[in-house]
């Protein structure tokens, strides 16, 4: 698919309310991540923190194609996916504060957000580790005749892992309802794709397993959304797993420890010119779909949500140390 | 063990495991078996022979040689509401699935703050002694027993091979079952009415007053054979079968040591950093003042298991070695 660059169109690219919804979702992620960075600097958040700035269009566009029954398996850079999926911002932030009101009771932190209610299966910090899990969730659905999709996010780094290849083969072999979403941000931590892979066309490699695979401009939320809808529809029609490579870029460092020695500022600035939020805003503006008032309203609404989330996390409580060894084994028998 | 005509029958360990799988699949439609060569081949050790014909390829599911992929798929299927039995052909190959077992199955409940438990059962053949050399002879069960979040079983008897699987399937958390491949051909008695058994307690398999031998799996039978020989010399050996390696039922072996005042651990794992080391430490912590002699260990020599028969036999714990060591420990006090 070709990136859509022109903002000077008069034809409406999207229905107004939906456009505002997509924009709001991306802004929520961006402002949330900005707040996380600030709270990390203020030492409210510790450990590893991986921010999603620049990649918002991927989570927002893809998750539009899912229903509440579907499952999501994500990576350690998953705040945005959790937010869009419907995990409360306060519960996510409280998790990073290590509070028991967090979505994983403070046992997981930034990299391990979980939420049973929204079928959000983490939050996996082993690169490639989520793919077999997604295959299994889809296998369970197939064996139980549940018509659901399991959506599995991973980065370009995961393509080098054996688990990637084992999982794609299994999903294709058994025709399982998995939507594989590769967030190709060009770097596996600090190693560029071209230094890690002999063949860098990732969609082509997925296609070699016998599944439909497409690459899409991951900086264009409408393109991502359209591709995800198409892939999800094919899965729901029983056509087996689908692979979507979203070509995107991470604006911030890999984590808060990263000195970014492996890429130039010029490269980062160049990609920032393609900011998914700014470019989509311009498109909506160009089509006369949003006003300054709309944008201000979105910013105000998001700021309020984030302020409330911070207050929720700040007010959170610490789990008693006596409970340290809970959740190693289940406290209940199975039905 | 005695058999009573009419109420007991004889079957092999292999048949016991197969019956356990078959019964579980009849009882619960969420149960399925997945692994390399479990279907059309009939199982590497013929455990699942005939099950494909009975249950079909959906529930007796052959997989590619992708241990991490299909073990992870089993974990995912368990999360998704199924009760998978994943067969990893041998424990050696579990190293290729270790990421999924240790980094996913063992930690998901904890990392999710109690939201996502993983009711998967993973069966693995284990042990040396079959002249299949270093890459096929490891006993890694003690190594997995190091990991919080999983349970590790080592059924030795036909009754446990038959009864532990169902209890493991009913467990809400990941359970690894290590079946020593030397036991598959062993015949043993099984009550016609035999059913599920507990998976959290050790058992005293032979009563004795002079020394306690603590063991599990195939080594259990070497310990029992040694006890038989030693009895002729008037040394009464108590033999404890651990059955479950994590969590360890230390109450049972500590009580035994408190009665006999001597302890020998027989373990096919290597001695350094072993399960035998853990048991020895527990005895020091929990029964030190009951001891009349230092705790002893008989483990596999610190060498990758060699192919040559005489060298492999020399590396593994053997009956003669147990007898000699017990005599030395008890000598002068018997």
What's the pLDDT tens digit per position in A236-247?
999 999 999 999
What is the structure's pLDDT at A5?
Answer: 44
Residues of B in contact with A164 (CB under 8 A): none
Compute the count of residue pairs across chains A and B with CB atoms less than 8 Å apart: 160
Please state, for a pLDDT cut of 70, what percent of chain A lies above it: 96
Taking CA atoms, what residue in A is nearest to B109?
A327
**In angstroms, rounded to a whole number, what is the distance separating the alpha carbons of residues A322 and A64?**
42
CA atoms within 13 A on the CB side of B276: 24
In sequence order, which ranges of chain A are alpha helices (DSSP H)? 16-41, 56-63, 79-85, 89-96, 130-143, 162-173, 193-196, 202-207, 221-236, 265-272, 276-286, 292-314
Cβ–Cβ below 8 Å for A129 and B72: yes
**Searching chain A, which residue's CA lies closest to the CA of residue B118?**
A330
Report the sign of the C-alpha dihedral through residues B73, B74, B78, B80, in that order.
Answer: positive
Residue B334 is predicted with a pLDDT of 43
Taking 50 as the threshold, does the pLDDT of residue B38 lie above it? yes
Q: pLDDT, tens digit, for every residue of A281-307?
A: 999 999 999 999 999 999 999 999 999
Domains of chain A, start order: 16-314 (3.40.50.970)
Distant-in-sequence, close-in-space partners of B41: CB < 8 Å, separation ≥ 6? B62
Q: Is B23 a catalytic residue?
A: no
What residues does each domain of chain B span? 2-191, 203-330
The predicted structure's pLDDT at residue A3: 43
Across the range B100-122, mean pLDDT stands at 98
Which residue, among A75, A130, A140, A173, would best test binding to B if mutated, counting the most B CBs under 10 Å from its CB? Answer: A140
- Choosing from B67, B87, B141, B312, the catalytic residue is B67
Residue B46: exposure state from Cβ atoms within 10 A (0-12, 13-18, ≥19): middle
| B15 counts as catalytic | no
- State the complex-level ipTM: 0.95
B77 with A140: Cβ contact below 8 A: yes
| Catalytically annotated residue among B15, B36, B87, B136 | B136
Q: Given CATH 3.90.1150.10, say whether it is the number of domain B2-191.
A: no
Q: What confidence score (pLDDT) does residue A56 get?
A: 98
Closest by Cβ to A170, choosing from B69, B99, B111: B69
Establish whether the linkage from the previous residue to B164 is cis, with ω within 30° of 0. Answer: no
User: Is pLDDT at B23 greater than 50 in this prediction?
Assistant: yes
Query: Which of A251-260, B80-89, B103-112 comes out lowest in average pLDDT?
Result: A251-260
* Mean of the per-residue pLDDT values of chain A: 95
B304, exposed or middle or buried, with CB in 10 Å at 0-12, 13-18, 19+?
middle
Mean pLDDT computed over every residue of chain B: 96
Question: Residue B79 and residue A121: Cβ atoms within 8 Å?
Answer: yes
pLDDT in the model for residue A334? 57
Measured between beta carbons, which residues in chain A are less than 8 angstroms from residue B74? 136
pLDDT score of A335: 55
Q: How far, in Å, CA of A150 to CA of A119, rounded?
A: 9
pLDDT band at B5 (very low <50, low <70, confident <90, very high): low
Beta-carbon separation of A136 and B104 below 8 A: no
The reply to whether B2-191 and B203-330 are identical in fold is yes
Query: Which of B63, B76, B109 faces A140 most closely, judged by CB atoms?
Result: B76
Which residues from B are below 8 Å from A132, CB to CB? 68-73, 75-76, 100, 104
CB contact under 8 A, A136 and B74: yes
| Whether residue B1 has pLDDT greater than 50 | no
pLDDT of residue B331: 84
B196 touches chain A (CB under 8 A): no
Which residue in B69, B95, B97, B170 has the most chain A C-beta atoms within 10 A of its own C-beta, making it the best mutation to test that interface?
Answer: B69
pLDDT at A256: 87
Buried b (16+ CB within 10 A) or exposed e, A290-322: beeebbeebeeebeebbeebbebbeebeebeee
- The torsion angles phi and psi of A325, rounded to 5 degrees, stand at -90, 15
Bridge partners of A247? A184, A217
Q: Which of B79, B82, B173 sits opposite A143 (nearest CB)?
A: B82
Q: What's the topology of domain B203-330?
A: Rossmann fold (3.40.50)
**Does residue B165 have a pLDDT over 50?**
yes
What would the mean pLDDT of A65-74 be, rounded to a whole number? 98
Q: Is the pLDDT of residue A223 over 70?
A: yes
**CB of B66 within 8 Å of any CB in chain A?**
yes
pLDDT in tens, B39-79: 999 999 999 999 999 999 999 999 999 999 999 999 999 99
Pairing mode of beta strands A212-217, A242-247: parallel
Q: Shortest CA distance to B68 belongs to which of A205, A162, A241?
A: A162
**Can you tell me which residue has the tokens 């051909």?**
B185
Distance CA(A97)–CA(A110), nearest Å, equals 9
pLDDT classification of B2: cutoffs 50, 70, 90: very low
The CA distance from A108 to the nearest CA of chain B, in Å, is 5
Averaged pLDDT for residues A11-26: 94
Cβ contact, residue pair A144, B119, below 8 Å: no
Q: Is the pLDDT of residue B260 over 90?
A: yes
Examine the pLDDT at B102 and tell me if it is beyond 60: yes
Residue B110 contacts A where some CB pair is shorter than 8 Å: yes
pLDDT at position A332, please? 76
pLDDT (tens digit per residue) in B179-210: 999 999 999 999 999 999 999 999 999 999 99
How far is residue B70's CA from residue B184's CA, in Å, rounded to a whole number?
24
pLDDT digits (tens, 9 = 90+) for B215-253: 999 999 999 999 999 999 999 999 999 999 999 999 999
Residue B171 touches partner A, C-beta closer than 8 Å: yes
């Amino acid at each position: 698919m070709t990136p859509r660059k022109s903002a000077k169109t008069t034809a409406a690219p999207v229905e107004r309310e939906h456009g505002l919804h997509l924009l709001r979702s991306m802004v929520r992620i961006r402002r949330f991540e900005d707040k996380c960075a600030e709270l990390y600097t203020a030492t409210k958040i510790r450990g590893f923190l991986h921010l999603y700035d620049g990649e918002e269009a991927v989570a927002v566009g893809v998750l539009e194609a899912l229903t509440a029954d579907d499952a999501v398996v994500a990576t350690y850079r998953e705040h945005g996916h959790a937010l869009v999926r419907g995990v409360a911002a306060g519960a996510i932030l409280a998790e990073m504060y290590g509070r028991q009101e967090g979505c994983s009771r403070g046992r997981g932190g930034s990299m391990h957000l979980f939420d049973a209610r929204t079928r959000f299966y983490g939050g996996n910090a082993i690169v490639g580790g989520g793919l077999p899990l997604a295959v299994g969730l889809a296998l369970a659905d197939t064996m139980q005749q549940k018509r659901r999709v399991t959506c599995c996010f991973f980065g370009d780094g995961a393509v080098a892992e054996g688990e990637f290849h084992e999982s794609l083969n299994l999903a294709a072999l058994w025709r399982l309802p998995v939507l594989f979403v590769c967030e190709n941000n060009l770097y596996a931590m600090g190693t560029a794709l071209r230094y890690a892979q002999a063949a860098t066309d990732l969609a082509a490699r997925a296609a070699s397993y016998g599944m439909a695979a497409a690459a899409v401009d991951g900086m264009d939320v409408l393109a991502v959304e359209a591709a995800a809808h198409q892939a999800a529809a094919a899965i729901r029609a029983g056509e087996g797993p689908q692979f979507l490579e979203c070509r995107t870029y991470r604006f911030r460092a890999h984590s808060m420890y990263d000195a970014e020695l492996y890429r130039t500022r010029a490269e980062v600035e160049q990609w920032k010119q393609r900011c998914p939020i700014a470019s989509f805003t311009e498109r909506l503006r160009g089509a006369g779909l949003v006003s300054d008032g709309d944008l201000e309203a979105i910013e105000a609404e998001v700021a309020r949500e984030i302020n409330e989330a911070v207050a929720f996390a700040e007010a959170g409580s610490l789990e008693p140390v006596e409970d340290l060894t809970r959740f190693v084994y289940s406290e209940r028998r199975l039905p | 063990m005695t058999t009573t005509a009419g109420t007991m029958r004889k079957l092999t360990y292999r048949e016991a495991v197969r019956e356990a799988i078959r019964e579980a699949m009849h009882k619960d439609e969420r149960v399925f078996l997945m692994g390399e060569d479990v279907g059309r081949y009939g199982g590497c050790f013929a455990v699942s022979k005939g099950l494909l014909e009975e249950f079909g390829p959906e529930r007796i599911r052959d997989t590619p040689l992708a241990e991490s992929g299909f073990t992870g798929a089993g974990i995912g299927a368990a999360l998704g509401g199924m009760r998978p039995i994943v067969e990893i052909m041998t424990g050696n190959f579990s190293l290729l699935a270790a990421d999924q077992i240790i980094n996913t199955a063992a930690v998901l409940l904890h990392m999710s703050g109690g939201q996502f438990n993983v009711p998967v059962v993973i069966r693995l053949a284990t042990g040396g002694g079959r002249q299949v050399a270093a890459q096929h002879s490891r006993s890694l069960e003690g190594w997995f027993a190091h990991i919080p979040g999983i349970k590790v079983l080592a059924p030795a008897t036909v009754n446990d091979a038959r009864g532990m699987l169902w209890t493991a399937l009913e467990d809400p958390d990941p359970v690894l079952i290590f079946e020593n491949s030397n036991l598959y051909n062993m015949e043993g008695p099984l009550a016609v009415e035999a059913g599920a058994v507990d998976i959290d307690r050790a058992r005293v398999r032979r009563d004795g007053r002079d020394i306690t031998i603590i063991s599990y799996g195939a080594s259990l039978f070497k310990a029992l054979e040694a006890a038989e020989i030693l009895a002729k010399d008037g040394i009464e050996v108590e033999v404890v079968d651990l059955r479950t390696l994590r969590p360890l039922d230390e109450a049972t072996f500590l009580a035994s040591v408190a009665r006999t005042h001597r302890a020998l651990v027989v373990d096919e794992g290597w001695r350094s950093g072993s399960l035998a080391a853990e048991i020895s430490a527990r005895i020091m912590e929990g029964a030190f003042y009951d001891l009349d002699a230092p705790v002893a260990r008989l483990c596999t020599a610190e060498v990758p298991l060699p192919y040559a028969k005489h060298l492999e036999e020399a590396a593994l714990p053997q009956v003669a070695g147990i007898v000699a060591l017990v005599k030395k420990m008890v000598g002068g006090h018997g």
